[in-house]
Amino acid sequence: MAIEVITREDLNEFRTLLLSDLNAMFHSKPQQQKQWLKSTEVRKLLNISPGTLQNLRINGVLSYTKVGGIIFYAYADLLKVLEENKVEASPNLFNPKWLVR
């Protein structure tokens, strides 16, 4: 059985490499969101079925662009639809209506 001795120089080298890797991670640019998404990407993002996405298009809730046979959705439009349909939380958490006394 071989015993490997770790010296201070080894630890200092490890520390230097670890710090440089962490520094690179923290200063790297975050991955940018795509501007245009295909139908499959939108369905995965919103966790909806193809029929629901079609209803959103037909009812004019979600705007789209069709190029050839491919439908694209602007990511900014998705955020806008989500924000416009946002339901605010009820501020009265300690007296719910369903609680019977």
* Domain residue extents for the chain: 36-85
Residue 3 backbone phi and psi in degrees, to 5: -110, 130
Model pLDDT, residue 79: 92
Q: Where are the beta strands (DSSP E) in the chain?
A: 36-38, 65-67, 70-74
For residue 58, what are its two tokens? 């037909």
User: What pTM was estimated for this model as a whole?
Assistant: 0.58
Averaged pLDDT for residues 82-92: 81
Look at residue 87 in the predicted model and tell me its pLDDT: 86
Digit-coded pLDDT (tens) for 19-29: 999 888 888 77
What is residue 56's three-state secondary structure? helix
Cα–Cα distance, 6 to 57 (Å, whole number): 64
Average pLDDT, the chain: 87
Task: Give 48-83 pLDDT, tens digit per residue.
Answer: 999 999 999 999 999 999 999 999 999 999 999 999
